[in-house]
Structure 1
Amino acid sequence: MKTQTKTIEWREVELGNEDICEIAGEYGSGASAKKYDGEIRYIRITDIDENGKLRDEKVSPSKIEEKYLLKKGDLLFARSGATVGKTHLFIGDGSKSLYAGYLIRFRFNKDKIDPNYIYYYTRTPKYLSWVKSKMKVVAQPNINSRQYSSIKIPIPFNEDKSDLKEQEKIVKILEKAEKLKERGKNANELLDEYLKSVFNELFYNNSFQEVKLSDICETSSGGTPSRTKQEYWSNGKIPWIKSGDLNKDKITEVNEFITESGLKNSSAKYIEPNTILIAMYGATAGITSISKIRATTNQAVCALVPKDKKLNEIYLLYWLRSKYEYIVSLSFGGGQPNISQQVIRSLMIPIPPLPLQEKFTKIVNEIEKMKENVKKTESNSEELFNSLIQKSFRGEL
């Protein structure tokens, strides 16, 4: 006897349709936030990170309104500001939570809709494109409850009923793909932690001779060619490193270039590959990196080059990173920290035996190879997830 093949029909259903929603587009509480009381969490738009997860820091509401209590499976949409369109699926941790007024709640009929299915839809290029199209061209973009309720979601149907099993199948596939993607990120974090522990084991609590950084390193900073002179920038071929570029472990490429004329008519100057760089101003102050390319820098970057073979540049890089908080504590200025080149030059650095520094460098090189392999895997996992999430909502899985 032949078994009948299930026929899936895909229909577009508005998010706020009362057939799939118990609560459609409800705004949150207007209560103010106070210190976390250990009992009730208050979820605000700023508590949701770029990945839709809740940040660790918690606050409580100034007043408790039962109608704003969240239930497992509630889906929250950010309605205003830079994060408009961002979503968070509330999974609960056993404690009570309320949501704030810049968030909009949808609660689904779980006999017909898997909330995870809708959440994954809000991560598709189609949804993100919809968000972009709805954002008004004003300083403070906004998407209201009515607009969110009108989003058309592709829902699988079987025999004229919403097919919950098909939704759950899709969710399981996407969850597995997402775990693969997250594994790569976690692996990199573990490798970084391992390097920190190796550095501490080799170099801390040892009575190595200390010398002033200026005695063992050449230091310099660059400059910025005039932005009003097009000939300093147009069709430039010389890489120009800014302090914001130092957020990467190593600098292999940049997004701004200057011309020979810009170089000659400014304080910008060349640095050679394997030069250590430290940001001196603003939000990135104290951040360090190593340039793997011949380039120039601006005035917010201090370049350090060992002038004595007793100092290995990789040891110098990781020593500076280990001293990040201390270096920032030496900064001056108002809201944004500023570190002078003089402060950097006056730092006292321990000088371990060169063979020990070289041993650490070999370990770093091995870890870098491992991170490159992780990066390839992570890239493949990202592509897999993006491909699957698009196919899922086209009925191609």
Structure 2
Amino acid sequence: MTHLPQGWEVKKLNEIFNIERGGSPRPIKVFLTNDENGIPWIKIGDIKNQKYLYETEEKIIEEGLKKSKLVLSGDLLLSNSMSFGKPVIVKVSRGAIHDGWLLLREKLTLDKEYFYYLFSSNFMYSFLSSQASGTTVKNLNIDKLKNIEIPLPPLNEQGRIVGILDLAFEKIDTSVELLKANLANLDELAKSVLDRAFNPLGDSADSTESTQNPSTHDAQSPYPLPQHWEWKTLGEIANTSSGSTPLRNRKEYWENGTIHWLKSGELNDSYINLVEEKITEEALKHSPVKLLDKGTLLIAMYGATAGKLGILNVQTTTNQAICAFLHKDLNNLKFFEKFLFYFLLSIRSKIISDSFGGAQPNISQAYIKSLQIPLPKDIKEQEQIAMHLDSVFDKIQKLKELYNTQLQDYEELKQSLLTQAFSGKL
């Protein structure tokens, strides 16, 4: 702000706005109402990075307003805690804000959209973050906020800057929405490819190929299969095994360990090459951990990563939240790990929905063993299907990386424009 254009000023925020904190009637449930004439109750969750607030999820009764803060259409709000520093301009005729919001009501004639963009900039957020207090939940200190110095151009220049940013951001947002649509289409493509891979007859389920072999479809089978395929439960083709966590208070189990020990949080739907922790030979001898070979297929059984998959590229042990799929000593019931990996990926949403226990999914080994698998009898065909899916998913992943890079580029372009705008270079 040392080289601002002529006519620009540097002012403290309290010279421009009266800044007041909201208030919360408690307990809030007593004051909530479904009456369409209720007062919009503005929560931080109502804001999704938009400039204007037109509606709220909840409303409160008039009585609740006595313990809150009234805001009017056109008021500028700034979140004060949790997702702090987030601006929005109110467009409801009247509303109420809790104490997680700050109301900035102008003392001068100004363009509030200029300040919306100012508070949307990364450099302002970084500065506010440095001024915020608290460890787990940060809060903006009003006294510090009042003394923040900001660049203030003349009113007509504020409008000119807003006009340029509006036009540029509209074009950027259009491109961003297109990229997000492309990403969604890639997800749909992946789902379609998986569905077709494991239901090769698809809409032609009544074709000659399926009816020539009635055993491929009966009342217990989800859908018809080609002649050389068969339905098998996972328990018929594989043994399952879970790991364990050696006692943490036994130093001899952990210090200077050389044996990989994998946690369920490390499964990421790909090959596992690196493992964060290691245990000792002593732990392997005296704990119910099992050493799994390279190539073993794994699934997370519970917790935040339930349903996540992985294939080992290293020999390792695992914790108890991971289930491993092991080959049975059978001549005619073989599975190819990557084939089974893709099948489990294709039905993951079903696995999760079937396995909710409490707040998080809890997948049991009994459930896993009961899953029905459409299995080509020839393991070479399983390998061919997996190779085809590898090729398709590799292309999908590369496109996703490209689109996500472009999304990041657009966000950086926005921030570059904001930096130029508030340094007088736009």
* Paired amino acid for 1:329: D
The C-alpha deviation readout for 1:340-382, integer Å capped at 9, x for no partner, is 2232223222336746665544432332232233244344445
**Match of residue 343 from structure 1:** 367
CA distance in 2, matches of 1:95, 1:151: 30
**Match of residue 121 from structure 1:** 119
Change (3 A) 1:322 1:12: farther
Change (3 A) 1:219 1:17: farther
TM-score (norm 1): 0.72
TM-score (norm 2): 0.68
**Match of residue 43 from structure 2:** 44
1:62 aligns with 2:83: no
Q: Work out whether residues 131 and 140 of structure 2, in 8 Å CA contact, stay in contact via their aligned partners in 1.
A: no
**Match of residue 294 from structure 1:** 314
97, 100, 109: which is aligned to 1:99?
Answer: 97
1:278 aligns with 2:299: yes
CA distance in 2, matches of 1:109, 1:368: 52
The C-alpha deviation readout for 1:248-290, integer Å capped at 9, x for no partner, is 45366768332665874652644535x54322222333x3233
145, 164, 170: which is aligned to 1:169?
Answer: 164
Q: Work out whether residues 24 and 106 of structure 1, in 8 Å CA contact, stay in contact via their aligned partners in 2.
A: yes
142, 146, 150: which is aligned to 2:147?
Answer: 150
Name whichever of 25-34 and 252-261 sits farther off.
252-261
63, 74, 77: which is aligned to 1:75?
Answer: 77
Aligned length: 376
Please give the root-mean-square deviation of Cα atoms over the aligned residues, in Å. 4.5
CA distance in 2, matches of 1:135, 1:295: 46
Change (3 A) 1:357 1:140: closer
1:207 aligns with 2:228: no
The C-alpha deviation readout for 1:195-249, integer Å capped at 9, x for no partner, is 2233335545632332111222343333335544678667878765433344x45
* Paired amino acid for 2:126: L
Change (3 A) 1:199 1:391: same
395, 398, 416: which is aligned to 1:369?
Answer: 398
CA distance in 2, matches of 1:312, 1:163: 61
Residue 140 (structure 1) shift = 5.2
Change (3 A) 1:257 1:61: same
Q: Work out whether residues 86 and 119 of structure 2, in 8 Å CA contact, stay in contact via their aligned partners in 1.
A: no
**Match of residue 87 from structure 1:** 86
CA distance in 2, matches of 1:166, 1:336: 48
Q: Work out whether residues 120 and 389 of structure 1, in 8 Å CA contact, stay in contact via their aligned partners in 2.
A: yes
Change (3 A) 1:86 1:38: farther
1:329 aligns with 2:327: no
Residue 104 (structure 1) shift = 2.0
Residue 85 (structure 1) shift = 1.5
SS at match of 2:15: coil
SS at match of 2:240: strand
Change (3 A) 1:77 1:327: closer
Q: Work out whether residues 121 and 419 of structure 2, in 8 Å CA contact, stay in contact via their aligned partners in 1.
A: no
Residue 143 (structure 1) shift = 2.7
Percent of aligned positions that are identical:
28
Residue 63 (structure 1) shift = 0.7
SS at match of 1:339: coil
Q: Work out whether residues 12 and 148 of structure 2, in 8 Å CA contact, stay in contact via their aligned partners in 1.
A: yes
Name structure 1 gaps, 5 residues minimum: 1-5
The C-alpha deviation readout for 1:112-151, integer Å capped at 9, x for no partner, is 23426434534414533432432135x6543354444433
The C-alpha deviation readout for 1:65-95, integer Å capped at 9, x for no partner, is 597355256333133xxx1524142475x89
Q: Work out whether residues 111 and 164 of structure 1, in 8 Å CA contact, stay in contact via their aligned partners in 2.
A: no
Structure number with greater Rg is: 2
* Paired amino acid for 2:58: S
Q: Work out whether residues 300 and 308 of structure 2, in 8 Å CA contact, stay in contact via their aligned partners in 1.
A: yes
1:317 aligns with 2:317: no
SS at match of 2:368: helix
